Amino acid sequence: MTHTIKTITTLPELQALMKVFALAFESEYHTDDRYLVNMLENSSTILIGAYGHTDLIGGLVAFEIHPIHGKKEIYIYDIAVHPDYQKQGIGKHLIDYLKVEGKNRGIDTIFVEAESEDEGAVAFYRAIGGEEIKVNHFNFII
């Protein structure tokens, strides 16, 4: 199947991405449209979609961050491909597109976290050449 990768720029595209995330992550999303519009308007938010013909079939949400060491980085928050289209290289193409976007922004590091128990995600990031660094991740619920 042929697919196209491009930046998500409209609310309907972002809503379609949320539906893909809901299917892929087996979770429900109830996000206010105003919140989504704010994401679209924020230059630090990177929204990329994969399209098969005209339908959005995958995508990612990433953020440009500005750490204190002075080198901007990109953090991939979520990436998913519709279950019917997985294992076709779409996820890798999304990451490749993000690398070009990062280069255009003067960024040379992209990072993503995956829970160790999520064997599919860990295998995917290894397969596309991610450098694995062991860390402990702590959440503080407020």
Q: Give the CA-trace dihedral at 125, 129, 131, 137, to 10 degrees.
A: -10
**What pLDDT was estimated at residue 44?**
97
pLDDT of 120: 86
**Could you report the per-residue pLDDT of 40-75, keeping only the tens digit for each?**
999 999 999 999 988 999 999 999 999 898 899 999
What is the per-residue pLDDT for 114?
A: 85
pLDDT of residue 129: 87
Domains and CATH numbers, the chain: 4-127 (3.40.630.30)
Give me the pLDDT at residue 137, please: 79
Bridge partner list, 62: 46, 76
Identify the helix (H) or strand (E) that includes residue 34: helix 33-41
3-state SS assignment for residue 48: strand
pLDDT at 1: 62
Q: Which pLDDT belongs to residue 26? A: 87
Encoding tokens for residue 36?
């989504």
- CA-based nearest residue to 64, from 90, 49, 46: 46
How many Å apart are CA 119 and CA 26, to the nearest integer?
16
Q: Tell me which residues of the chain have a pLDDT lower than 50.
A: none
